[in-house]
Every structure is written in structure tokens, then in C-alpha cells.
Structure 1
Amino acid sequence: MAQLIKLQDYVSRYERDIFRYPGQFIRLKKENYDGIKQQWIRQREWDHIESDVDEDEEARQDKKDTFFKRLFKKHEDDEPFETIDHSVPKLPDNEDELKQDFLDRIFHFQLKWASSTLQEVSFLDRVFERDSRLKYFLTRFPDTFLLFYKPIFKLNKALLEGDIILVTPTSIVCIYWLDHEEEAVFEAVDQRKWIQRLDGKEESIVNPNTALKRMEGAVRSILNHHDIDYTIEKVVLAPNGRIQYHHLPYQTKYIDQSNYESWFSHHRSVTTPLKHQQLKAAGALLEHTQTTSIRRPEWEDVEDDF
């Protein structure tokens, strides 16, 4: 799953040390999934052996709950995945269910890393826990993709709110999400507006390329400031809709239902590891984002001791 390194203006572990946390996350995720999978296999074998034994259902459920309480082990030198909700209704029936349960729990853990550090905390809007778009990017893309979700950039004392930025091992992808639960048709009219057609109704919407250009401009300005050379792509994404256009803007892709599967499969299949230049680019972007947080009360006393 992709890593959430910046969420709006919340304080993030990654902005404290971009060269540590991405690799640490990948390692912890693998170690813990391998561990839970082995425990799951053993528990299923044990349940199979006990299947003929008369046992109270409540006691059987307690065993299954205990299985998940050991889901995330602690490491001496690393912060554990300590924020997972371990309550579960039942043991997963197959490995696909096990993986989905694991990803759901990691999703909530990622929100913790993207809104707090050991010394500071931001007040997380609970709406992000139900944000299907955020969950889509975090659970469907590779671990080596670093996600900025609605970041607020600081440029020359001005604030600019972005939409979705993926820092991959080969490029920075600026994404404007243009979608509905139902199929819609989007027609590119001119540089200022598009037409959206849905259920027989038409309405004008702002040309998404306007926001993409601002986002790309902010990213390019930051990279240039730090003398970082990295490819920047722009994508208008409408997985369930159709985009009608006469020509594509420079270095921009329109991804709709006609080519979504190929685009998605291409990114899902990326096996390239984290790159130093990728982390350097992500760190530069983080350096120019707005952060609003308070110090954790327990650290006030520690600081006084120093």
C-alpha cells in the first residue's frame, strides 16, 4: 500500500525524517504480515483439530480475538504499529480476507503517522477515516509510492492547496480526481471550463487543468529551488466516467473508463524499490508544506527537565 506522508496541514512523521520512515514502514509491514499469516495458519489448523471437541462458542470467539491481539509485535528500535484496533468479529476465512483486514487496520495506523510525531500532534478530522478516495490510493498502490493528500504548500509567503500527489520511484504524479459514483461524461470545452453531463443534465465545471497547472507549478518551483531534477506528470482521473476532448495539454494524461485498467495495472505492477532521488524530492516538497500542530503535553515536562 502507498504511504501517506502528508495529509493537509497535519504534522507527519515523514517530515521529521524522510530517509528513515518510508523504509521502516515497508519493513514493519512485511514483518507483521508474515507474522500474522503464520499465526492465522496455526489458528486454522488448531480450530480444525478442535472442530470435533464440544466447546462453548464464547470461549471459541475469545481464542479468535486473542489471535488478533498479537497482530502487531513491538520492536526494540522501532515504534510499533501500536494504534491498530484489535477487535474483530471473526477469524478470516481465507487469505484474501486476511489481507483485506490487515490493510484496513494499517490504513488507520497510517492516519496516526500522518497526524502526529513522538513530540507533536495535530487534531485529525475523523472524516478522513471514511474517505474512500484516500483509502483507494493508500490500499491499491505499491509501498514505494509516497502520497501527499490535499497538502498545503508555502510559496513566497502564499499558501497553495494541492489535490493529490504521488511521488513514485520514477516520477511525481499530480492528480486531479474527477469522478462520480455514477457514470458521467466530461467534455473539454476551453481553457476555462468543461461540461459535465450526468442523468440527462448538464453543468459547467472549472477546467481541471487549471488546478493541475498550479499544482505542477508549485512542485516544479520547489524542485528547482533545491536543484532536484525529477519527472513531473499531470493526470485527470475519472475511473467511472468518460472524458471527451480534441487535444491533450502538454505532459497531461486523461484517464477515464476507457484506459483506466491499463493505467492502474501499470502502476500496481511497479516493483522498483525506493530511490534516493525520490526521497530527496519528497523531502523537498515536505519542507515547503504548511504544518499546524501542538506539542504533546507529556513532552512539556521532559523539555523542562532538559
Structure 2
Amino acid sequence: MNAQIGREASLNGIEPKVPEHIMPVVKAIGFIEERLNEPLDVKQVSGHIGFSEYYFHRMFLSVLGESVAEYVRKRRLSEAARRMLAKDEKLIEIALACGYDSQEAFTRAFKTMFGMTPGVFRKRGRMSLEKKPATIDMMLHLEEGGLTMQPVIVEHKEELVIGMGGSFSENPFWEINKLWDKFNEREKEIPNLKGSYALGVCMPKHDDLPVKEGDTFVYIAGRPVSTLDDVPEGMVAVKIPARKYAKFTHKGPLTNLPHTVNYIWGTWLPKSEYKHAHSPDFELYDERFDVKSLSGEIDIFVPIA
């Protein structure tokens, strides 16, 4: 098994039981990731796995919710984005390395996925939308119905939120969990609380929260309030505007939430008819989520246009 694909597949050395029909897709992902910068098509991948193109295409699509070609394209563009931030390479060199014949074709594909040109992305200097390698854990999460594959499009009201926040980079699960622990200790200090739910707000930056070097976003653990007039010391306020959202529902352990997020941003959004709007996205925790077992249902609201 490819080490990159399998590294999330075990916990304390115990391998999860993987359904037989998923293993060919796991093998295919390993084959693709090892040859990401080489010419690849579904015929090569299916031939390596030992299935017909037609059968393998349907298998891959049923497990990951996208075709082999879509997966390869988004993975290459994500790696290209990383290279742009890490190195001072010419765009044409990155374009050719990603399998594009010209910088123009690369720019069109990049803008379609990221909503901006490579030049604007480079100046912005941070990742937002990203397609990460599919892992066994992610496939099992999708297989077991760990999220609603297609969201409900809703109009959500304005939310005024007070909470505690910080800046984070990739794979921030445990750091954000610690932030929630700190917030829960001080939650009762917040005046004018409204509703019985909590909100986890994600945004590129916040005027009152410094972004540490290398971090790519800001996260705020908070509660909705009726007014932002009285913010306790050490906390921040944020206004989430009323607008249209794609609402997904994560189901199961909180530890699987990154798989849901990766699917939304890496698979659903790039292939949907919508674009990400420049507004905070947020998680809503209510009575369906058990804070003791850290498991249950969480609604994820992604602003769209």
C-alpha cells in the first residue's frame, strides 16, 4: 500500500477493516499519486488495477464521487498551487509539469478551480481551496454515510458571534479542539447569549487576531449573541452576514470531520455550479452533537454565489 495513502488508515497500529470493493480504488490512488507528474488517463489506471475502463470508472466514481480525470486534474492543480507558494518558479514551468501544453490553458483551469488567476493567487500567498490525496479513512467515511454528499441550498440569517480564536495551518484538528476546550471554560462570561447552539467560524483573517507565519486561516470558537457591544477580554466578535449557503451535515465522530471538509472543498465545490463567496464559512453544533463523546451531527455552512 502506498505510504501516503495508508498513513491515515491506522490508529495505534490497528488497520481498519476495508470493504473489498474499496481496495481497487485505494490501489489506484497509490498508482496515481506516484505518477502525478506523468501522463495519466483512466485506461492506464484501470489497466494497472486489472479492470475494464468502464467498470473501473463506475467503481471509482461511486467511492469518491468524482471521475479519475477530475481527481487527477484537481490534485495536479493543488500541487501546482503549493509549488507557487513554496518556490519562485515560472508559471510556464509549473504548467508544463502539471501536464498543460500552455500557460494559458493552465491559467484557465487554475481559475476554474480556485476562482482566481495564478498571479492573483501568488500575491495572496495562502491556500484556501485544496484537493488532498484520498485516504482509506476518507473512503470509509464516505462509504459509511459520514456526510450528506449533496448539500441543501439555504438562505441563513445573520449571526453575531463572540468567541475565542486563533490562526491555523493544515491539519489543525487537535489545535482547534484545544481552542474549544479553552472557550468552553469561559463561555459563561459572554453576555447577551442567544440560542442553545455553538458556532465554529472559519475565515481568511480577522482584524483582532494576528496570523502566525505559515498559517492560512483564522478559526473562532463561539456562541451567537444578540449584540456585539460587550466583548469579554481575550475574546473577539464576528458578524456572519445573511446570505445563501450550501449546508452539509457531517455525521459521526468529530475526528472524521477533516474528511468531510476535504470532500466539500476538494470534490464537491470544484465540480458544482457554485463559486465560494467571500464570506466566513461556519460549523453549527446543536443538540444533535454530543460534547462528551465528541460525536453526532454537525451542520457545515459554505457561502456560495
Shorter-normalised TM range: under 0.3
Q: TM-score, normalised by structure 1?
A: 0.24
Relative contact order higher in (CA < 8 Å, ≥ 6 apart): 1
